[in-house]
Chains A and B, each alone.
Chain A
């Protein structure tokens, strides 16, 4: 039977490390494309790729339930919603015009600064435990936590989702009675 060697032959990394690098690189790359993309439909699609990478990372971290939820919720629902909205708000002029504000430079600097700050903080802090033994999760544990300790937030989030759905439907539907051609 074909078995994978313990570490990658030339580099000496573990397979997990390689997987992590691939997923992380993909995530950052797709995020970059999302942010910098001219064509907004392309941005939306790159967002989907990013979500996928994230699902992989969750799996790598030993949370398969969350990986599945990520795919279902983000890719299956939110991304579809975003793509629908993009289609509905296309304007003719589209990608030809400016993608960024004038303040994009300042924003870039701020983002750069923030990133730097976070990296420094993370590096300088001695986290309590980092021994790498990532114990996988079980659904049973998650379920018991969800329905025992966090049942109140769960219910409230349910109500929140209900409100969001109703609100979204109401906001987005056409007003037949007051529809007019000209802008107000």
Chain B
């Protein structure tokens, strides 16, 4: 398999790119890495100015990245900008280069990663202002940016996998940032271990790709695998196997069922970390990868079905848990899980553009929501339990306003961004015949609106349950934190209008459509059509009604304040309590996360502990026992045989006599001389 030559398979591009593009792409990678190195080395001594290298570096990276994005989306790179930085592994048949590529998909991801990343960095200057370890924080954040950018820029499986692991490392470091806290340390370990489980499948998938086609470069693999399937060189089940193995990695990294258990615990990290890594960028790596590998997935209907099923199941599972959680960040974490489930469902039905669109929109408004929650937590002095908040809309005006924008966006209320992307997913699901996915998706939309406005109600509206000692000093966050919030609220509100219109032939379709042409052909999708007064219109109306109904129900139960007026809806805790009682079993199940953590503990920790104890016993008793016994036998034998050395000549003489007897007698008797 390794003897295939690929020189003529893929045309070398980069002849059409403007000069300096490659240098700019490299800058995008190198500046965060340098920021990490410098901040790690001298950051501690900079004290309050620990961000002095990290943040400006990221702002500069953002600027350069925007130039690259503009060039890519305006077509200056042709199909894509691909280039090799250096030869990484020249080992005979295994030849891997440090390949980078920028096409439209990468460009979209670059927008999300660099913009949200930059705003989180700026926000962190204010958020971490009182933390003595902030130099570490900025160093890790920069390292994370480097890793994530490498991930989206990588043009071969191995480089992507290396970046994949690096983001996992940064996630570990940042979740456990407050390492002295036991819960944080445990959460970071849990994240890393659960990710590792997914990465095992991922690595196996990469090895399967290598043994099947002998190369790991994306363009070559995506041409050769379909060609081999078509020519019969590989069986369909092999392709499905490769796709499912690769999907394992996405399941782990994007926290889909059953590897979803690490994301809620990852909220132990500082809020900017949750915003950046666990909402806007790292968890999207799985979605990005499946989208990138669409030629492989689209050829295997089994794999697509698995992806869609796991995605939509995760969506409803997470939404059901978010209904009852009391920690503000947990609600947002489960919300992230749920929205990621949407994205995978979209990928599974073949709605690639919709999935990436949702990824983009979600990156912005979830980042916004997390930073907002950070601002709230900061204001009430690190209190995260929503039951001890309330009535904050008066004291935190900017935070409240931006969070309202984010909540409306995620609930899918037009004309905000979430509506466009979510509706497109549901639309495609229905039109491709997956009506059950559509139905579950609508239910999830209702639940999403409900729990988001439950969160809003408990946090901002109704009477204040804030700790009386803290209440007087609750104040809005400083501008360094609120300005990024406002800046994030803008795309959350307008992104849909900018790139999601016109329906059916949107701007983002024109960007990303060509990338997924091959997949569309494999799946038999025709040209996207849109009939506003036909199926599509009905679907839009249904999804809007679903969102509004969830929203209204939450408002009635948990309160609301109409902006720019004095009208309020009072929360009704009695009604809530009554319904909670009536649905007690469901409530308990939801509150306890459907006991998945306990199940994992039982299977892997306890039962695994038993297995481990058995292995330990085997190792100590049998393996070590054997080795020790050999040693003991040898030394014992030595000790016993030493007794022959009596030091008495007559004993030795007796030995000689006996030896003589044996040798002579044996020779004579058995040698046939007698």
Residues in A lying within 8 Å of B, measured CB to CB: 101, 103, 106-107, 110-111, 113-114, 117, 120-121, 124
Contact = CB atoms under 8 A, between A and B. Distances in A.
A34 B654 CA distance: 19
A110 B674 contact: no
B668 A117 contact: yes
Given A103-B650, A106-B658, A113-B665, 9 more contacts: A103-B651, A103-B654, A110-B654, A110-B658, A111-B657, A114-B660, A121-B668, A121-B674, A124-B674
B661 interface: yes
Contact of B654 (A107, A117, A120, A121): A107
A114 B661 CA distance: 6
A124 B668 CA distance: 10
A103 B674 CA distance: 30
A84 B661 CA distance: 35
Contacts of B674: 120-121, 124
A40 to B, nearest CB: 17
A125 to B, nearest CB: 9
A101 B653 CA distance: 13
A113 B664 CA distance: 11
B394 to A, nearest CB: 107
A124 B660 CA distance: 19
A113 B654 contact: no
Contact of B657 (A110, A121, A124): A110
Interface of B: 650-651, 654, 657-658, 660-661, 664-665, 668, 673-674
Contacts of A124: 673-674
Nearest to B673: A124
Contacts of A121: 668, 674
Contacts of B664: 117
A107 B656 CA distance: 11
B657 A107 contact: yes
Contacts of B673: 124
Q: Which of A113, A120, A124 has the most B CB atoms < 10 Å from its CB?
A: A113
Question: A-B pairs with the 8 shortest C-beta distances?
Answer: A110-B657, A113-B661, A124-B674, A117-B665, A110-B658, A103-B654, A107-B654, A114-B661
A114 B660 CA distance: 9
B650 A101 contact: yes
Chain A interface, DSSP helix/strand/loop, else mixed: helix
28 contacts: A101-B650, A103-B650, A103-B651, A103-B654, A106-B654, A106-B658, A107-B654, A107-B657, A110-B654, A110-B657, A110-B658, A110-B661, A111-B657, A113-B661, A113-B665, A114-B657, A114-B660, A114-B661, A117-B661, A117-B664, A117-B665, A117-B668, A120-B668, A120-B674, A121-B668, A121-B674, A124-B673, A124-B674
Contacts of B665: 113, 117
Nearest to A109: B658
Nearest to A114: B661
A177 to B, nearest CB: 31
Contacts of B668: 117, 120-121
A124 B669 CA distance: 11
Contacts of A111: 657
A114 B653 CA distance: 14
A101 B665 CA distance: 26
A94 B293 CA distance: 104
Nearest to B658: A110
Contacts of A106: 654, 658
Contacts of B658: 106, 110
Contacts of B651: 103
A117 B661 CA distance: 8
Nearest to A103: B654
A121 B660 CA distance: 14
A113 B669 CA distance: 13
Contacts of A107: 654, 657
B493 to A, nearest CB: 107
A120 B660 CA distance: 15
Contacts of A117: 661, 664-665, 668
A103 B654 CA distance: 8
A106 B656 CA distance: 12
B175 to A, nearest CB: 77
Contacts of A113: 661, 665
A106 B668 CA distance: 22
Contacts of B661: 110, 113-114, 117
A117 to B, nearest CB: 5
A98 to B, nearest CB: 14
A120 to B, nearest CB: 6
A103 B299 CA distance: 89
A71 to B, nearest CB: 30
A117 B651 CA distance: 21
A7 to B, nearest CB: 35
